[in-house]
Amino acid sequence: MKREIIGSIEGEYRRHRALAERAFRQLPPEELGRAVRHENSVATNVWHISGNLESRFTDFLTTDGEKPWRGRDSEFEPREGVSREELEEKWARGWTVLFDTLASLSDENLSDVVVIRGLELTVHEALHRSVAHTAYHVGQVVHTCRRIRGDDWTYLSIAPGKSEEYNANPTIDSAGAHASLPETTGP
């Protein structure tokens, strides 16, 4: 079973998952539900990302990706007081559904047709759309965490003033980069 393209897409999902985890694990538990100005809190973004992944990738090839049980609007409710354990459990649930589905796909599935909100898309279109959507919200998680941490923020990529040092020994962009990122929870 050929999985060159599916494997590449899976690697991007894993990279974004690790970025979000490295960001939100810098926050103390009491900050996970904190909204900064008019932004969504980390917990709200976690609920939305997980809800989206769970809905889209449950029975991916056979049912509409917007499941009637999802409750998308409830994902954006304030989540003040959410525990780290609850957040990590919710986070892992969506990723588990995604990675289980990706494991069942091969590159031969890329031209298959799936449905999302009644719209027909090829599998490759749906996957690219989902990666972009996930990356967008992961960026929000990282931005919110950085704003909350302020001067205590630990950079997730090349820190300011460190480009030359990094370029002398690049690691993140190498072929095995996904394996070198910190461990994530669950699959």
Handedness of CA 135, 23, 53, 72 (dihedral sign): negative
23-59: per-residue pLDDT in tens?
Answer: 999 999 999 999 988 899 999 999 999 999 999 999 9
Q: Which two tokens stand for residue 53?
A: 């992944």
At residue 183, the pLDDT reads 43
Q: Global pTM?
A: 0.90
Residue 174 confidence class, pLDDT cut points 50, 70, 90: very low
Look at residue 184 and give its three-state secondary structure: coil
* Tokens 């060159």 -> residue: 4
Closest C-alpha among 116, 145, 117 to residue 128: 116
Look at residue 40 and give its three-state secondary structure: coil
Indicate the residue type of 11. G
